[in-house]
Amino acid sequence: TDKHQFYLYHVWCDALCALRLAREHAAIDPARIAVDGGSQGGGTALAMAALDQSVALCTADVPSACWMEKRIFDRSGGYGQVADFLRNHPDQVEAVCATLSYFDNLNHAEDIRCPVLVSVGLKDPVCPPDTVYAAYNRITAPKRIVNYPFGEHDGGGGLHEEVKMAFVAEHFLR
């Protein structure tokens, strides 16, 4: 119910600090910083691309933190626990939804300026494809999504790693 006490607040603050440290490190080219992650890490990668305009490239596999209210209603992934909380505390629905809105990539996607590659498993029960697409469709930067029709929460697995490496090479090894 408090955005400053919410878990993702601390995760995202730490990730922003890590990006700042990376930019300041002598061995790192600050113009070629990429963010990558899967599931919660994929949601965090999208958020970092939106919140830190120095990010040059983003790859997000089966990203979480997308259309959180729908995930609560569907009880997908860890959001079933939020649904349980709200069932027992219906007076907290507005506060919980307000807090989650600060961390929902639906509300950050339009701020992404770097190229983005997203993977989605069309059979993913944890990060359902409609929630991933909801955020992806709001990205106005150059973007690409790779669907894995029978993929679940693996986002294409090893095959997708090859797709990501080609994406990174395309943008960083010109």
> Beta-carbon neighbour count of residue 13 at 10 Å?
11
Confidence of residue 71 (pLDDT cuts 50, 70, 90): very high
Cα dist. 7→14, 96, 133 in Å? 11, 13, 24
The catalytic residue among 130, 153, 154, 171 is 153
Q: What is the mean pLDDT of residues 54-83?
A: 96
DSSP run (H or E) holding 42: helix 40-51
Annotated catalytic, 130?
Answer: no
The catalytic residue among 39, 64, 76, 119 is 39
- Give pLDDT, residue 112: 98
Q: What is the mean pLDDT of residues 33-40?
A: 97
Confidence of residue 84 (pLDDT cuts 50, 70, 90): very high
Q: Which of 62-71, 97-106, 118-127, 154-163 has the lowest mean pLDDT?
A: 154-163
Q: What is the mean pLDDT of residues 34-49?
A: 97
Higher pLDDT, 14 or 174: 14
Annotated catalytic, 153?
Answer: yes
The catalytic residue among 61, 108, 124, 160 is 124
Confidence of residue 101 (pLDDT cuts 50, 70, 90): very high
Could you give the CA distance from residue 133 to residue 130 in angstroms, rounded to a whole number?
5
Annotated catalytic, 64?
Answer: no
- Give pLDDT, residue 170: 96
Pairing relationship of beta strands 116-121 and 143-148 according to DSSP bridges: parallel
Residue type, 31: A
Residue 121 predicted with pLDDT over 80: yes
Residue 81 predicted with pLDDT over 90: yes
- Give pLDDT, residue 155: 84
- Give pLDDT, residue 25: 96
